[in-house]
Amino acid sequence: MAKTIKFRLDGTAVEALEGETVLEAAERAGLRIPHYCWHKALGNPGNCRMCVVEVEGAPKPQAACRLPAKEGLVVRSASPASRRAQSAALELHLVDHPLDCPVCDQAGECGLQDYYMDIGRYPSAMREDKAHAAKRVPVGPHIMLDQERCILCTRCARFVSQVSKSHELGIFGRGHNEAVALVPGRVLDNPYSGCLADVCPVGALTDRDFRFQVRVWYLDGADSVCPGCSRGCGIRVHTSTRRPWHNKGRRLARLKPRFTEVNGHWICDEGRYGYADFDTDRLGKVMRLKDPSAELGWDVVCDEVAVAIRQGMLKDPAGLAVVASGGLSNEDWRAFRSLFVDALKLERFLFAPEPDQVGEQDELLRRRDKVPNLEGGKAAGFGTQIKSLDWDGLAGEIESGKVWGLYVVDRDPVKVWGERGRALAEGLSLLVCQGPRKGLTGGLAHYRLPATDWLEEAGSFTNFQGQVQTYLPALKPLGAARPDWDIFSALEKAVNG
Amino acid sequence: MPVSVRPVARPSRGLWEQVYILEVVRGLGVTFRHFFVNLWRHGLKLAGRATEPGAVTIQYPDDPAVLGRRARTRHRLLRRADGSPRCTSCLLCETICPAKCIHITAEESPDPGVEKRARSFDIDIGMCVFCGHCVEACPVDAIRMDADRVELAAYSRTALIWDIESLMQEPR
Ligand code: SF4
Ligand code: SF4
Ligand code: SF4
């Protein structure tokens, strides 16, 4: 065990680990000292001077982010002298700041606004004209740069050199002309570029995707897990439902990283921007293809589906195939196994990825499998005892008449099969489509069972390292949609009669 | 912007109100109270003992309505020198509005110096409570309630929703 060092901060006893600075120890203890440039994952250049604190015995204020914790140190971060020093540092940051909060997307979650209200509130002594710089520069596909709002904390430059290692941004010039800019000839286009909007403590780097869609004070949030790949990064989901005319009517506003052991402080752009069409093509109604306008209840349809399955299985018990996705939660997998393996004793399963569900992998976060819960499926026996068919194999078995029925969960086989998909689907005597979206399969299915998507339910994913992480609902289910596990168990009841 | 409607329950009438004769007498009582009080005030003014006369009847609508200098009347959106709306679409008025009757959506402005502008700006005047908070909240003095127009009636609820064009056309 590392040695602990005890010191006092604003009258509270704080324990620091050996080698920690006063600021790090304070953050770990949940005490806040103002700061911009220090970031837990990006180091402490000590250039913003916002964390200046009074230290007993020291003649001048010290920067808490560069001050090693020492036994018996007495630190005051909220004393009048410290506040005056912090307020002076803030005033210096705002000397050339354009004060365009009304049009700035960061307003409401901006470090400058927060500290001004907290420790600033000074009448400005600035009588000179402000220096102007470039505004609204689209530096990359996801990020907009405003040099005037930048406080030169260098977090962004450290991110691109230490984390994404792509080195697109730098700090150029000095003194009054110092500015953040792209390295000549480069664009800010790396797989983690969205994180720059998170690390920038002010409105200098903002998210182009989120820009002007909704003011941050109208957002609601919930803790969730990204389903974009088998890493399962922790995310905070921000939704806009109070005023439906904002955000182009979409309920999901943005995804932000949430610190967990799994992903640290970051998430990748594929995950962050992958859900713009979350609410398109959604299923909300239980439906039968024969009379699509009929108002059906879950009981009726579960019974009908159960009867169709039972009747088909009387003739050919092995001819029903199930297509499942790696997007199912652990709870879904358990109910899935209970229905299809334990109760119905089926043999043909397909849970291999769709061709576009395999992608790039890198050292930092991204994984090859673009589905969140393959491990959860394995724990339920899929991929271990039970083998998966492949897409061509299944198509062949339908063509040869070995498979008469298909139960599809959150997948779109008709799309995967391309041109012959339609004929294959029409050749089946039972096609059930369960899932949050209709897709091409939903248009041909005999029964459509609307399921909630991951943002509308609680559940857990097991990532590739075996970490089980829970996610909480951020949105209400649409229409009659129910979680997948709930549909499986209702169906199991109906099947067992 | 969709029309919003809030149903309000009708006040119920007790026996006392249903026996009309008593209510009629009470109403006449109010009328005569005003008559004599105002007669007394006009008398004082005539005799030079008071500065303000009693109530005066204005022949509205034949004569124009007399509005106080700070009366809050229908909203208008101000323009920049080049004719474009001053509004920066910051949504502060929408945020402060207690009646939630301002609906704004924002978009990128072609002028980089402006950056953000309103794509749509609707006020449902049928919901507005004329508190003036929107005017107070605006950081760029883009919205005012000094059009001095109080005739706001319309034949449908949709006609009570004003869009950015009609709000900008409003003359002073
Ligand atoms: S752009 Fe943001 S993160 Fe980068 S130096 Fe400026 S304030 Fe810091
Ligand atoms: S006057 Fe009050 S109620 Fe009417 S639009 Fe302005 S803030 Fe809303
Ligand atoms: S407060 Fe003013 S600038 Fe902001 S949206 Fe309202 S009218 Fe426009």
Q: What is the pLDDT along chain B (172 residues), one digit of tens a residue?
A: 888 888 889 988 888 888 889 999 999 999 999 999 999 999 999 999 988 888 888 898 899 888 888 899 999 999 999 999 999 999 999 999 999 999 999 999 998 888 999 999 999 999 999 999 999 999 999 999 988 888 889 999 999 999 999 999 876 6
User: Is the pLDDT at A1 greater than 80, yes or no?
Assistant: no
Residue A237 near residue A255, CB atoms below 8 Å: yes
Residue A469 near residue A463, CB atoms below 8 Å: yes
Distance in angstroms (rounded) separating the CA atoms of residues A255 and A308? 41
B112 to chain A, closest Cα gap in Å: 7
Whether ligand 2 lies within 6 angstroms of the CB of B134 is answered as yes
pLDDT of residue B172: 62
> Ligand 3 centroid vs B85 CA: distance in angstroms?
10
- Mutation site for B-interface testing, chosen from A104, A144, A212 by largest number of B Cβ within 10 Å: A212
pLDDT of residue A356: 83
- Name the band, by pLDDT with cuts 50, 70 and 90, for residue A426: very high
User: Is the pLDDT at A256 greater than 70, yes or no?
Assistant: yes
Residue A221 near residue A239, CB atoms below 8 Å: yes
Q: Which residues of A touch B105 (CB under 8 A)?
A: 245-246
User: Is the pLDDT at A22 greater than 70, yes or no?
Assistant: yes
Report the sign of the C-alpha dihedral through residues A60, A66, A72, A78, in that order. positive
Atom 2 of ligand 1, nearest CA residue: A200
- The interface pTM score, or ipTM, of the predicted complex is 0.86
Domains (ranges, CATH) in chain A? 4-94 (3.10.20.740), 129-273 (3.30.70.20), 287-496 (3.40.50.740)
Ligand 3 pocket (Cβ < 6 Å) reads B 87-93, 104, 137-138, 140, 142-143
Determine the residue type at B57.
T
User: Is the pLDDT at A8 greater than 60, yes or no?
Assistant: yes
Give the mean pLDDT of A270-295. 91
CB–CB of B91 and A212 under 8 A?
no
Whether ligand 1 lies within 6 angstroms of the CB of A112 is answered as no
Q: Which of A102, A211, A215 sits opposite B139 (nearest CB)?
A: A102
Instruction: Give the nearest chain A residue to B93 (CA atoms).
Output: A102
Give the mean pLDDT of A460-466. 96
Of A217 and A174, the one with more pLDDT: A217
Six-digit token string for A134: 């470039």
Whether ligand 1 lies within 6 angstroms of the CB of A139 is answered as no
Determine the residue type at A312.
G
pLDDT of residue A402: 93
Six-digit token string for A160: 């691109």
Residue A114 near residue A81, CB atoms below 8 Å: no
Whether ligand 1 lies within 6 angstroms of the CB of A268 is answered as no
Six-digit token string for A26: 């304070």
Give the mean pLDDT of A143-150. 96
pTM of the predicted structure, to 2 decimals: 0.90
DSSP letter (8 states) at residue A159: I
- Name the band, by pLDDT with cuts 50, 70 and 90, for residue A27: very high
Q: Which of B94, B103, B115 sits opposite A103 (nearest CB)?
A: B115
Give the mean pLDDT of A30-48. 95
